[in-house]
């Protein structure tokens, strides 16, 4: 119920304006967001790299309505790729297609994505296309496949709460496309998605085993210790090398677990969001865990 309310409020422009303009909530958001400018993200990346952790940089923003905003987002992503190359930080990037104008025109979105992928190819920086709500799943999978055919260094995300995901994973794996597996962060109806955590988790483990056995450097993106333990056991039991996949977690979440896995010789990548459009991202993190809502609220009342 609280989760549904928070996911609903993530789309509310009035609450967004209040939260984003409020200095206290802005400061509290720093627990989950590296900062508002690229330099903040680079600083956070260096600190993580020093602890043996790689990074996926995510310029926050989604569902833009103006062509200028989409073009600006693409330019900012190219700047990020160039900075990764120049500074030699250990990072790749993650993007949302609705930040590149998917709602305005799929052609515009693909054109802008191509400019980012050309830069990624030039600087040898991998690009992951995040998965958004189910209204975008078909388009995201199709665009990722076309982009991979042309540029190679691109992958996408599959959500274990969707019934369709095994079919998507099979196709992506067959085409040699890198997949990041997540549980899914949006509100989806029962007609297309599991509603119970146990069903989402069971499907996650099934999909994870497919990816670990025959995926192309998959990312197991979760903070769920039972899932992470199952991944470690699966690779041990099947003689799969630790170097053939990576764990991924979100910035500011389960830092203890990130370090423990690095200590055990696993690849760990942390998703580092930055930028001024952090409101829906923060709301999704609070929806995942009420303790995060308490964290933000106690900062407001302190």
For residue 121, the number of C-alpha atoms closer than 13 Å in the C-beta half-sphere is: 13
Closer to ligand FDA by CB, 67 or 254: give it. Answer: 254
| Residue 110 contacts ligand FDA per CB under 6 A | no
Beta bridge partner(s), residue 269: 54, 248
CA distance 8 to 284: 10
**Least distance to ligand FDA from the beta carbon of 129, Å?**
8
Decide: 159 and 183 in contact? Cβ < 8 Å.
Answer: yes
Find the binder of ligand FDA among 192, 289, 290, 300 (CB under 6 A): 289
| Residue 224 contacts ligand FDA per CB under 6 A | yes
Decide: 300 and 25 in contact? Cβ < 8 Å.
Answer: yes
CA distance 183 to 189: 15
Closer to ligand FDA by CB, 72 or 224: give it. Answer: 224
Closer to ligand FDA by CB, 194 or 271: give it. Answer: 271
Binding residue per annotation — 284? yes
Annotated catalytic residue 178: no
The alpha carbon of 291 is separated from its chain's Cα centroid by a whole number of angstroms, namely 21
The single residue of 58, 130, 168, 201 carrying the catalytic annotation is 130
Tokens linked to 259: 């370090």
Per CB under 6 A, which of residues 7..36 are in contact with ligand FDA? none
Closer to ligand FDA by CB, 17 or 27: give it. Answer: 27
Binding residue per annotation — 28? no
**Least distance to ligand FDA from the beta carbon of 132, Å?**
7
Segment lying near ligand FDA (by CB under 6 A), choices 21-29, 232-240, 273-281, 284-292: 284-292
Residue with tokens 């600087």: 123
Tokens linked to 186: 């949006």
Closer to ligand FDA by CB, 49 or 82: give it. Answer: 49
Annotated catalytic residue 130: yes
Segment lying near ligand FDA (by CB under 6 A), choices 18-26, 76-84, 210-218, 222-230: 222-230
Binding residue per annotation — 223? yes
Segment lying near ligand FDA (by CB under 6 A), choices 9-17, 139-147, 247-255, 273-281: 247-255
Closer to ligand FDA by CB, 62 or 110: give it. Answer: 62
Find the binder of ligand FDA among 131, 141, 207, 212 (CB under 6 A): 131
Per CB under 6 A, which of residues 147..186 are in contact with ligand FDA? 157, 159, 182-186
**Least distance to ligand FDA from the beta carbon of 182, Å?**
4
Binding residue per annotation — 248? no
Residues in the annotated binding site: 96, 131, 159, 183-185, 197, 222-223, 284-285
Active-site positions read 130, 180
Interface residues with ligand FDA (CB under 6 A) are: 130-131, 157, 159, 182-186, 221-224, 248-250, 253-254, 271, 285, 288-289, 292
């Amino acid at each position: 119920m609280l989760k549904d309310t928070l996911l609903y409020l993530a789309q509310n422009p009035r609450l967004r304006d209040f939260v984003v303009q409020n200095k206290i909530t802005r400061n509290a958001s720093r627990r989950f967001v590296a900062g508002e400018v690229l330099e903040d993200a680079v600083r956070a990346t260096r600190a993580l790299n020093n602890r043996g952790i790689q990074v996926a940089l995510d310029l926050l923003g989604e569902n833009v309505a103006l062509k200028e905003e989409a073009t600006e987002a693409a330019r900012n992503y190219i700047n990020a790729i160039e900075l990764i190359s120049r500074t030699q930080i250990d990072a790749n990037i993650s993007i949302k297609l609705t930040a590149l104008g998917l709602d305005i025109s799929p052609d515009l979105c693909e054109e802008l994505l191509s400019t980012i992928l050309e830069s990624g190819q030039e600087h040898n920086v991998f690009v992951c296309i995040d998965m958004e709500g189910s209204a975008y799943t078909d388009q995201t999978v199709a665009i990722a496949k076309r982009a991979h055919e042309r540029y190679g260094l691109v992958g996408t995300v599959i959500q274990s709460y969707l019934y369709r995901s095994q079919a998507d994973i099979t196709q992506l794996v067959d085409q040699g496309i890198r997949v990041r597996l997540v549980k899914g962060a949006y509100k989806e109806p029962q007609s297309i998605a599991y509603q119970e955590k146990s069903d989402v988790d069971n499907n996650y483990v099934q999909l994870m085993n497919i990816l670990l056995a025959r995926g192309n450097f998959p990312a197991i993106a979760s903070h769920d210790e039972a899932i992470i333990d199952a991944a470690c056991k699966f690779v041990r039991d099947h003689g799969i090398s630790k170097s053939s996949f990576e764990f991924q977690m979100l910035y500011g979440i389960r830092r203890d677990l990130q370090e423990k896995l690095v200590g055990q010789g696993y690849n760990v990548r942390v998703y580092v969001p930055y930028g001024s459009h952090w409101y829906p991202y923060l709301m999704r993190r609070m929806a995942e865990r009420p303790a995060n809502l308490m964290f933000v609220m106690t900062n407001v009342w302190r």
